[in-house]
Structure 1
């Protein structure tokens, strides 16, 4: 379970970093930095804003912005799974026994603690990232597709369970 969850986390990180690199190509703010007066200004103060931005996203031993987004995505994924189960439970019972706000808070805490132990405790994810970086290209493609299917499946599960709960509570 831990290895599988770390594989999904790794590919969430990789996908987010690639999206960042792609968005830099169409980012209108970065075009402003290419104007002559901006280049002169940043050269005078010895800063390259494009490099600074890219360095903030890079994976380091200390979590960068991409790692932060991937970690939060993993929290959301686990939250969606738990909330989907809660929606199915409410649909089957046809009754709200507990105030939903408390349930959402409890599910959020459970998601955060579970991800802490599965991914972040003693920097487990860094060990797994190093291992996954050494994967063969074909195996990376396979696991990237599996990760994408997991994300899509969890979202479908969340929407389906919510629709099931609404249907059962209204009938």
Structure 2
């Protein structure tokens, strides 16, 4: 039961990130089209214009799949990356605490040890997320399910995804704070 809820949650967050990347891609595409549209319109001969627009019409489905495809498109690649990055930030709290304790008791900073301190918790915690979302392309099955949901569901999960991202940012700030607290480092900001 818990595994299914965890899997559903992660796939819904990943789906909302993909929707955002698609919308952002459409927006950037319109800006690029606005600036590049005058080139064939004013600089091409009549025959070149005809060939250009015919080729664009024929290649549009391939371009859409390249940029917005679910399996291997540019937007799904960015969604994979962003999901992995934000999910991996959460275990950094443990890494910062362990790092602070290591520096406090050893008094030195060995770069290799610091990297291992960050890599092990992030790697261990990322395994369940990978199995829930990416193994056997489970996200594609969930995407089909989520596309059938109504607008209320989409708004709800957009808010949850935003909270997930803000929580990741807050957790890294909290992790740095804990590390500084363990090391008894006083940070003074100019406005304080």
**Aligned with residue 86 of structure 1, among 79, 95, 105:** 95
**Aligned with residue 101 of structure 1, among 96, 112, 115:** 115
**1:167–1:30 Cα change, 3 Å:** farther
The within-5 A match list for 1:6-17 is 6-17=11-22
**1:22–1:168 Cα change, 3 Å:** same
**TM-score, length basis structure 1:** 0.81
| Structure 1 position 136, deviation (Å) | 0.9
**Aligned with residue 32 of structure 1, among 22, 30, 36:** 36
Check the 8 A contact 2:95/2:121 in 1, yes or no: no
The alignment covers a number of residue pairs equal to: 169
**1:56–1:112 Cα change, 3 Å:** farther
Aligned to 1:77: 86
The within-5 A match list for 1:10-159 is 10-27=15-32, 31-36=35-40, 37=43, 40=48, 43=51, 47-48=55-56, 51=60, 53-60=63-70, 62-91=71-100, 95=104, 99-107=113-121, 109-110=123-124, 113-159=127-173
Q: Which structure: larger Rg?
A: 2
Q: CA RMSD in A?
A: 3.0
| Runs of at least 5 residues in structure 2 that lack an aligned partner in the other structure | 1-5, 107-111, 186-192
Check the 8 A contact 2:133/2:139 in 1, yes or no: yes
Which whole-Å deviations, capped at 9, do the CAs of 1:39-81 have from their partners, x for residues lacking one? 9379359642993543312234x32111111111121122111
Check the 8 A contact 1:79/1:107 in 2, yes or no: no
| Runs of at least 5 residues in structure 1 that lack an aligned partner in the other structure | none
